[in-house]
Structure 1
């Protein structure tokens, strides 16, 4: 099962909204960090499904760092000053999203996620685990 994710560090806590366009989140995070968008680095998994997200982020002037796999580390990096990572965006594994969320909660960061099922079987599996609303935005408190 996949999950759509957005993750940031403590200074941008409360400034993200996964239901908004990526560019809006970049502008909000830049403002929260006291930076201009050109000084923001967004990490995104290098997948065809992310083409629109990548284009939208690039319209802000923010830097896009594409990674081949493993979005837990960059999610955590967004919460650690000096890593050069300010935000993680995109669709990756749901189990990895849970791990990243636990770490971000400990580090004072912020994250939102929304399940991204690819089949009826995945929807039924999520419902069997007690998730009634597949489209619900989950936060660090869920």
Structure 2
């Protein structure tokens, strides 16, 4: 059985997995307990995979770098069907959910078996993401040069470009360079995947740059490719131990990776809101049913919004 990204039945199986994770996580929204949010989502997601008609292999799981609950790399899941690789984050933005802030999502990307890069021992990745108009941008160019190229491509002055950067000490140099060039810094603390998706679609952000999670980078790559966006990345070990593990695993952490390197074949990206995020509402109870809102991006047509209702007991 072959994998077809546009198969609606397959997409519905995938949405059911992320929405179950989102509904389970909602119980702990506002609790202040990030591990409880993540743990509930992981358990629900693994249970949902039991009846999903796929033969799934987890290539990129989330949790190891921050010692959170996780779906493990190499884990085999599903009830049988197309052989797929899976990159997953049961909750991207656990702090946001724990503090009842917007921007938290359950997210998963799938592609044919063997199509997703495995960052393995490297937890962090430098990323450059823009709409398709930024196709000439490169991590090998100075950031100021990239900003000038992007401004010309978009037909706007550099001082009108909005550039998203995750607010971490490792990204301070990007913030300083963006401001020195006169562009607008759009800072964010958490929610890497949502901000990356906005950048790929030109949704209020013209460029995302900086070092963030490698798992989120692979997840994002599937969405960027399906959205006809532009992305480059390179693995960015942050400690000596991480660099040593990268060398032992044969991972070239200085090389620029293109979209084709990150995801070799078209895939499907699925996102369900945990708190209000990406234009979607958080799970809620309406007339005795739980209502969830999700986005499916398969690269064939426009992104599809899925609104489902289930009895409260599910």
State the TM-score, normalized to the length of structure 1. Answer: 0.89
1:2 matched residue in structure 2: 124
2:201 aligned residue = 80
Identify the residue that residue 89 of structure 1 maps to in structure 2. Answer: 209
- 1: CA distance between counterparts of 2:151 and 2:133? 10
Of residues 6, 21, 25, the one that matches 2:146 is 25
Q: How far does residue 125 in structure 1 lie from its aligned partner after superposition?
A: 3.7
Distance in structure 2 (CA, Å) of the matches to 1:128 and 1:100? 26
1:84 Cα offset (Å)? 1.1
Matched, 1:135 2:257: no
Q: Looking at both structures, which has the greater relative contact order when contacts are Cα pairs under 8 Å and sequence separation is at least 6?
A: 1
Give matches, 1:114-133, under 5 Å.
114-127=234-247, 129-131=249-251, 133=252
Cα displacement (A) at 1:107 = 0.6
Q: 1:113: which partner in 2?
A: 233
Q: Which runs of 5+ in 2 are unaligned?
A: 1-122, 262-314
Q: Are the aligned partners of 2:130 and 2:201 in contact in 1 as well (CA < 8 Å)?
A: no
CA–CA distance in structure 1, aligned partners of residues 162 and 231 of structure 2: 16
Give 1:129 deviation, angstroms.
4.9
SS at match of 2:125: strand
Distance 2:193 2:146 in 1: 20
**Does 1:38 pair with 2:159?**
yes
Q: Which has the higher strand share?
A: 2
Q: Secondary structure of 2:181's match?
A: coil
CA distance in 2 between partners of 1:71 and 1:5 (Å): 11
Structure 1: 4+ residue segments shifted above 4 A: 127-130
Higher Rg of the two aligned structures: 2
CA-atom RMSD in angstroms: 1.6
Q: Distance in 2 between matches of 1:59 and 1:118?
A: 26
Query: 1:40, 1:114 → 2: CA distance?
Result: 23
Describe the SS at the equivalent of 1:135.
Answer: coil
TM-score scaled to structure 2, two decimals? 0.42
Cα separation, partners in 2 of 1:123 and 1:51, compared to 1, 3 Å: closer
Does 1:60 pair with 2:181?
A: yes
Q: Would you tell me which structure has more helix in proportion to its own residues?
A: 1
CA distance in 2, matches of 1:119, 1:62: 31
1:102 to 198, 203, 222: 222
- Corresponding residue for 1:50? 171
